[in-house]
Amino acid sequence: MNTFLLMTDVDEIIEQLDEITADYDGKTILLAGGLGFLGRYFMSVFARLNETKFSEPCKLIILDNLITSGKASNYIDQYPEFKFLEQDITTPLNIDEHIDFVIHCAGIASPFYYRAHPLETADVAIAGNRNLLEVAKSNQARYTFFSSSEIYGDPDPKHIPTPESYRGNVSSQGPRACYDESKRMGETLCYIYNHLHGTATTIIRPFNVYGPGMQEADYRVLPNFASLIKAGKPLKVYGGGNQTRTFCYVTDAINGFLRAIAKGVPGETYNIGNPKPEISMVELVQHCSDAIGKKIDHNIIEYPDSYPADEPNRRCPDIRKAKLQLEYVPNVDLKTGLQRFLSWTDDNFVGEQ
Ligand SMILES: NC(=O)c1ccc[n+]([C@@H]2O[C@H](COP(=O)([O-])OP(=O)(O)OC[C@H]3O[C@@H](n4cnc5c(N)ncnc54)[C@H](O)[C@@H]3O)[C@@H](O)[C@H]2O)c1
């Protein structure tokens, strides 16, 4: 049994997906980045569906080069329908099986790691994407690329909440460009394959997903906070602390993703996140404190060298398109999500990365 996520969360995702799950019954899915935070949820949801719901098990081919995932676990071995290949997707892929869905959720998602690996970050969204698009094309599979809300850059306040039609305010240079610009090029490749070859591509732009299963050494804001909370130390808030984000609990996000992967209109792009509340990082400290019922101190500090400064001031999704086309509605409020996450990190983190 999977011990690195909450099984109650996995069951909640399946319950919310309801009849959408039928689209995956008996299908073969190529999952790139399968050992990452989101990839492990996909694996767990499909494993659970095989155990509880599917008339024919779905097969999973999981690719990951372990660059940020840590070691491969033997968790996969207990599922005969799942196969793990340690593979860098930027190198040629030899997939013999017929594939129904390609899910590209490989990437170097945490700013700390893309600062350390800028070329690998660009390659996985461009060369890796191209290799996977070829697999989708030759199999006539549905294809999903995990882009990012970062492709919007630093939007003018009049474009917040930000709809999919907003074209972005992004720099092609600087410490964040390897991530933002390669995701933009990745989207362009999906557009080309859709128009040139008729590949059924869907692009997802996730907005700050969090939840149990994040690694302590992930270095995104909530695992950073959780690690310091576990250590009983003041939280470190970078920059002025006034930059705002919205946070989407992982059950809501995976529900939205699996809806988009199965039902997204080919060629379309979907924001998936939770637009409420949009809060500053200083306010996030207060929300964490409310969630655990304990006062938490914080210090506002300069950006460390390991973290790319120049981050967007505000980030908040307009999710009306996903609501309308995919019936996607996030329903875990921030307090509940933080309680689940911080209680899980209290059991699983060692304190202060
Ligand atoms: N989690 C979020 O809030 C969020 C927000 C925006 C975008 N995204 C995107 O969604 C995707 C999944 O996010 P996540 O949070 O699970 O990230 P993650 O970093 O936890 O997982 C990504 C996985 O991809 C693997 N990987 C990286 N390069 C690879 C390569 N060349 N070949 C094979 N595997 C490779 C890593 O080892 C890791 O296991 C990423 O593309 C990310 O950019 C996530």
For position 1, what pLDDT does the model report? 41
CATH topology of domain 7-210+248-275+316-332: Rossmann fold (3.40.50)
pLDDT of 347 > 90? The answer is yes
User: Do the beta carbons of residue 114 and residue 108 sit within 8 Å?
Assistant: yes
**Do the beta carbons of residue 64 and residue 34 sit within 8 Å?**
yes
Q: How far from 220 is each of 140, 210, 339, CA to CA, in Å?
A: 36, 9, 18
User: 73 CA distance to ligand 1 centroid (A)?
Assistant: 17
- Considering 41, 114, 166, 179, which one is annotated as catalytic? 179
Q: What confidence tens digit (pLDDT) does each residue in 41-53 have?
A: 999 999 999 999 9
Mean pLDDT of 82-95: 96
What was the pLDDT predicted at 353? 63
The letter for the amino acid at 258 is: L
Please give the pLDDT value at position 71. Answer: 75
- Where are any strands of DSSP class E within the chain? 28-32, 59-64, 82-86, 101-104, 142-146, 200-206, 209-210, 235-238, 244-245, 248-249, 269-272, 279-280, 298-301
pLDDT in tens, 95-138: 999 999 999 999 999 999 999 999 999 999 999 999 999 999 99
Ligand 1: does its nearest atom lie under 6 Å from the Cβ of 67?
A: yes
Task: Indicate which atom in ligand 1 lies nearest the CA of residue 90.
Answer: 31
Q: With beta carbons less than 8 A apart as the criterion, state whether 206 and 254 touch.
A: no
Q: Please tell me the pTM assigned to this model.
A: 0.97
pLDDT value of residue 17:
97
Q: What's the CA gap between 21 and 50, in Å, rounded?
A: 11
- At residue 38, the pLDDT reads 97
Tell me the residue type at 274: N
User: Distance from the CA of 32 to the center of ligand 1, in angstroms?
Assistant: 9
DSSP state of 73: P
CA angle centred on 188, ends 278 and 221, rounded to 5°: 30
